[in-house]
Amino acid sequence: MKKKSVKNKKSESESKEKKFKVRKSGIAGKGVFAVKDIKKGEYLCIMDGEEITINEMIRRVDEEESEEGSDPLQIDDNTYIDLSEVPRSFNHSCEPNAFISGKNTLKAMKNIKEGEEITYDYSTTMNDNAEIINEGGDEDYLWTLKCKCGSKNCRGIINQFKTLPKNIKTFYLKNKFVPNHIQKSFG
Where does residue 32 rank: exposed (0-12), middle (13-18), buried (19+ CB within 10 A)? buried
The alpha carbon of 155 is separated from its chain's Cα centroid by a whole number of angstroms, namely: 17
**Model pLDDT for residues 117-145, shown as the tens digit of each residue:** 999 999 999 887 656 555 545 455 566 78
Number of domains observed in the structure of the chain: 1
Residue 179, pLDDT > 90, answer: yes
pLDDT of residue 9: 45
Q: Which residues contact 91 (CB under 8 A, 6 or more apart)?
A: 25, 27, 28, 29, 31, 32, 117, 119, 149
Among candidate residues 96, 103, 102, the one with its CA nearest the CA of residue 40: 96
Percent of the chain with pLDDT over 70: 79
Give me the domain span that covers residue 90.
Answer: 4-186
pLDDT given at position 56: 85
**Residue 115, domain CATH:** 2.170.270.10
Integer Cα distance of 109 and 9 in angstroms: 23
Q: What is the pLDDT of residues 11-63, one digit of tens each?
A: 443 444 689 999 999 999 999 999 999 999 999 999 999 999 888 887 777 67
Picking from 61-65, 172-176, 183-187, which range would have the lowest pLDDT averaged per residue? 61-65
Which is higher by pLDDT, 15 or 64?
A: 64
Q: Are strands 91-92 and 117-120 parallel, antiparallel or unpaired?
A: parallel
Rounded distance between C-alpha atoms, residue 72 and residue 142, angstroms = 13
